Structure 1
């Protein structure tokens, strides 16, 4: 089992510099172990942003638990390091935890812009409409609440409607 992990780590270490030089990465990394001294501050900031009103407030309780687990794994591995370099297995575990946390946080980022093409009513010409993930979730919740209130106040089948 040692050979495949070592081979994977070696291939990643060879590929990443060439990919970084060839293409500009526009994605933002929320969990980044490169700044090890500041990782505890970074983890605390991420946990704060997952609370209501934060950038990642739309994470589900299960996703919050997963991100917390990944941050704890990274912290434990970095503490294990204590001045010496990490072995290949630990580096791979840190990389996996970092990627898992970043995937969840990127998906639930309230500032993430979502664009789609849709045709307005009465037109065949599609228009590009962009909205942030936070605005989209809030609009969905407002619509659902409005429908719930409206359906609760609607007259039953036997009642008269004023004006009709």
Structure 2
């Protein structure tokens, strides 16, 4: 009975992925045993470093992910494995895992964001897809150029001492 339940839960993990333009998102967290889970937690926390996949997590979402990972680790340490958990514990573990996976999937730097709109001068809509990282870099570069132009204009408008 418990093997069937674990199989059903595993199938749910893989079939409930959020569909995006590039296809189903791979689950970042799959809880099974404390040993495997510790390796996953270490890898996920490394991916939250600057320049890595989950660098765009804000402080609130980082807290949600870290709290969820800590709670899942405590539950697995206490029970020893998913098979040894009660149905209530499995349900709680699944809920925490889905919350963590949702936050991570939404904030992945390689997640595609697509828009479907007509370009300037046309009435024919076009689909354009960019990654979160590309959009962030474009925004940062735009702000830098705007500041540079404002500084140049201020220098030109400044009164000369003459």
Paired residues, number: 143
Matched, 1:112 2:105: no
Return the match for 2:38 from 31, 37, 40.
40
Q: C-alpha offsets along residues 16-41 of structure 1, whole Å, 9 cap, x if unaligned?
A: 67x86xx7952321111146541111
Cα distance in 1, alignment partners of residues 89 and 119 from structure 2: 53
Is the deviation greater in 49-58 or in 35-44? 35-44
Cα distance in 1, alignment partners of residues 61 and 151 from structure 2: 33
SS at match of 2:56: coil
SS at match of 1:51: coil
Give the structure-1-normalised TM-score: 0.75
Match of 1:64 in 2: 62
Cα distance in 1, alignment partners of residues 128 and 33 from structure 2: 37
Is the deviation greater in 63-72 or in 139-148? 139-148
Computed over aligned residues only, the root mean square deviation of the Cα atoms, in angstroms, reads 2.6
Is the deviation greater in 149-158 or in 103-112? 149-158
Q: C-alpha offsets along residues 30-80 of structure 1, whole Å, 9 cap, x if unaligned?
A: 111146541111111100001101101111111111100000000000000
Unaligned runs of 5+ in 2: 18-23
Unaligned runs of 5+ in 1: 1-12
SS at match of 2:27: coil
